[in-house]
Structure 1
Amino acid sequence: MLEVSRKQAMAYRVARHGLHRDFADPVASPLFDLGLQDSMRDTALLALSARSSSPVEPTSLVDDPHVVLVWSHRGAPHFHRRAALRELVTSLIPLDDADALARMLWQKKEIGATGVPASEVLFTAARAIRKVVTQPMSKGAVSAAATRELPPEYSRWCRPCNTTHIQEQLMRLATLHGGVRLEADQSPATLAPLEDRGRMRTSPDAAAVSRVVRGYLVANGPATQGDAAGFVGTAKTALSAAWPDDLVEVKVDGRRAFLPADQVAALENPPTPSVVRLLPPLDPFTQARDKAVLVPDKARAKEVWKILGSPGALLVDGELMGVWRTRGSGKRLAFTVTAFDPLRAADRAAAEEEASRAAAARGYADLSVTWA
């Protein structure tokens, strides 16, 4: 059995995530194989900037006809290649009712209480959303219209909204199956019909799910079945039928994990991760589920992954060495960077250059960097 150190695994991941900036066109790079998660803090744009060999424009993702924003993995908004959308939709079809219920995450109890198989609940909601979204509509308007089309047990009373509407996670999981996307760079969230909806598909495809799992292991391996399930947003047991068959077992500092066989050579001899990057919250690199591998120190891990409002992460030579936040005021973006350990002057200068790239990507003409 192959055994590698955690440091070696981290170097492999830095390379696989494109953080050496080897790709002139990040949209065509493996970065988009699993999609790029987004939030209103421009997280997808900043993740793109951290990997692009050239400056990234503020509208790079919004204006790019090759990508589309949808609710996908775990019901979270991701930019995906438009050409790969059909394959993506197929991969998001639950393998069975247990898988469908597991994907409801924090709302499993409510969906289970309907007494209806979770797959049936999912596709009933998808048909309702498909019916009501015929033009761009706010999320609230879609929710209200879909709720009227659905059995009452699919909905709940929402105190903040002071109304009854479809369960949130159910809506997020059902929307893409209903042929509906998100409008990029819109607040509040706006939904619109996909340009080429096609016929709604409901038949499970274990091979399609397996390709997502394999993609996760390529980018974030060596990793476990539980790690991959966490990314997909389902239970570990639900992935048994979709677990790839071309994997090799690898021990990372004694931890049993797996990697696609064709990635072993890259793991054995990864390039030196001598890069400094400011990774935004929700960056694909920090979205790996084995947080103890990324940041073994528990106190530091709590700083990187906050329950609410996680900061960005400072990557230095293959290690997450600090966190950073921003505050915008007019045309100026202020960065506050907190390093866990003292850094070399060259690393601080490189981090400040990364801040300059990030500010430009977000459309700020000026910036300041404060080291806390």
Structure 2
Amino acid sequence: MLDVSREQALAYRIAEHGLHREGTGTHELPLLDLGLQDSMRDTALLSLAARRSGPVTPESLVDDPRLVLVWSHRGAPHFHRRADIAELTASLVPLGDADALARMVWQQKELREAGRSAVDILFETARAIRKTVTRPMTKGAASTAITKLLPPAFSRWCRPCGTTHVHEQLMRLATLHGGVRLEAGQSPATLAPLADRGRLSTRPVPDAVARVLERYLRFNGPATPGDAAGFTGSARACVTEIWPTERLTEVRLAGRRTFLPTDRLPALENPPTPAGVRLLPPLDPFTQCRDKAVLVPDKGRAKEIWKILGSPGALLVDGEILGIWRTKATGKRLTFTVTAFDPLRRADRDATEAEAARAATARGYRDIAVNWA
């Protein structure tokens, strides 16, 4: 069995994530095989800026007709290639009730109490969404209309909204099955029908799910079945049933039994040396890996990077996360506050400020300031 050091694994991941910035165009970005999460302010745009060598602007994602924003993995919004939507939708069909319930995350208890199969609940909601969202409409309006078509057990009283509406996670998981996307760049969140809605299919496609697991391992491996299950939102027991063993090789990393797609072994054995500075936004695909102790072994530093609410961005220097950063917009100025865990070389500080300027441009700001905490 191949024994891999932490440094080797990180070097491999950085290369697979495209963080060497080798000139890939947006649509060709390999990470779009999994999707770029866009849960916070311009997260996907900043992840793109960290990987593309060319200019990135506020329009780079929202104006690309080859891309579409949908609620996908774990019910989180991701940009995907339009050409991949059919297979993506198939991969999100639960393998059974246990899988469907696991994907409901914090709303499992309430949906168990509905007295119905979790799979049935998901697809009844999808049918209501398909019937309701036939034109662009705000999430609030869509939720109100959908709720009226569903049994009361599918809904809950929402204090922030001051009304009863369909469970949030249930709606997110059902929307793509209902043939509905999100309008990129719109606030408040707006739903719209996909150009090609296709037919609603409730049939599990284990091979499609297995391919998602394999892609997770390509970008974030070597990793465990539990790590891959965490990305999809499924339960490990469900993942074990469809684990693509024939296409994977077992590798030992940090004392753990992990896996990597067999065709990526040469890249793991001889990865390029990480170099340079990148500003990774909160929820960047690189920091979204499930084995966070591999990325940042120091528990104190890990607590600064991954918070329950309001996580900062990560400062990546020569392959190691050596600090955090936040931004604050005041009028037309975007101010970056960077906190380094250890003193940085002058060249690294200069490179950080250059990356801040690049990130600001991606968000549409020309006036920037960088403060070192």
Give the TM interval when normalised to the shorter protein: over 0.9
Deviations 1:66-95 (A, max 9, x none): 100000000000000011000100000001
Instruction: Report the secondary structure of 1:284's partner residue.
Output: coil
Give 1:201 deviation, angstroms.
1.1
Contact 1:224 1:258 in 2 (8 A): yes
Contact 1:26 1:51 in 2 (8 A): no
Aligned to 1:289: 290
Q: Distance in 1 between matches of 2:160 and 2:359?
A: 34
Q: Distance in 2 between matches of 1:253 and 1:149?
A: 51
Q: Distance in 1 between matches of 2:142 and 2:187?
A: 15
Q: Distance in 1 between matches of 2:366 and 2:53?
A: 20
285-294 or 245-254: bigger deviation? 245-254
Q: Distance in 2 between matches of 1:166 and 1:183?
A: 20
Letter in 1 for 2:2: L
Unaligned 5+ runs, structure 2: none
Letter in 1 for 2:166: I
Instruction: Report the secondary structure of 1:60's partner residue.
Output: helix
Unaligned 5+ runs, structure 1: none
Give 1:288 deviation, angstroms.
0.4
Letter in 2 for 1:365: R
Aligned to 2:354: 353
Letter in 2 for 1:188: P
Q: Distance in 1 between matches of 2:264 and 2:26?
A: 20
Q: Distance in 1 between matches of 2:138 and 2:29?
A: 32
Q: Distance in 2 between matches of 1:124 and 1:152?
A: 13
Q: Distance in 1 between matches of 2:334 and 2:4?
A: 41
Percent identity between the two aligned chains: 70
Instruction: Report the secondary structure of 1:61's partner residue.
Output: helix
Contact 1:40 1:185 in 2 (8 A): no
Q: Distance in 2 between matches of 1:339 and 1:233?
A: 32
Matches within 5 A, 1:228-307: 228-245=228-245, 246-307=247-308
Q: Distance in 2 between matches of 1:36 and 1:257?
A: 24
Moved over 3 A (4+): none
Aligned to 2:128: 128
Instruction: Report the secondary structure of 1:51's partner residue.
Output: coil
Q: Distance in 2 between matches of 1:23 and 1:93?
A: 35
Letter in 2 for 1:290: D
Instruction: Report the secondary structure of 2:308's partner residue.
Output: coil
Give 1:297 deviation, angstroms.
0.7
Q: Distance in 1 between matches of 2:70 and 2:41?
A: 17
Aligned to 1:223: 223
Instruction: Report the secondary structure of 1:27's partner residue.
Output: coil
Instruction: Report the secondary structure of 2:59's partner residue.
Output: coil
RMSD in angstroms over aligned alpha carbons? 0.8
Deviations 1:204-245 (A, max 9, x none): 000000000000000000000000000000110011222112
Give 1:40 deviation, angstroms.
4.2
Letter in 1 for 2:235: A
Pair 1:142 & 2:151 matched: no
Contact 1:23 1:29 in 2 (8 A): no
Letter in 2 for 1:64: D
Contact 1:91 1:212 in 2 (8 A): yes
Q: Distance in 2 between matches of 1:234 and 1:91?
A: 11
Aligned to 1:113: 113
Q: Distance in 2 between matches of 1:88 and 1:233?
A: 14
Contact 1:13 1:220 in 2 (8 A): yes
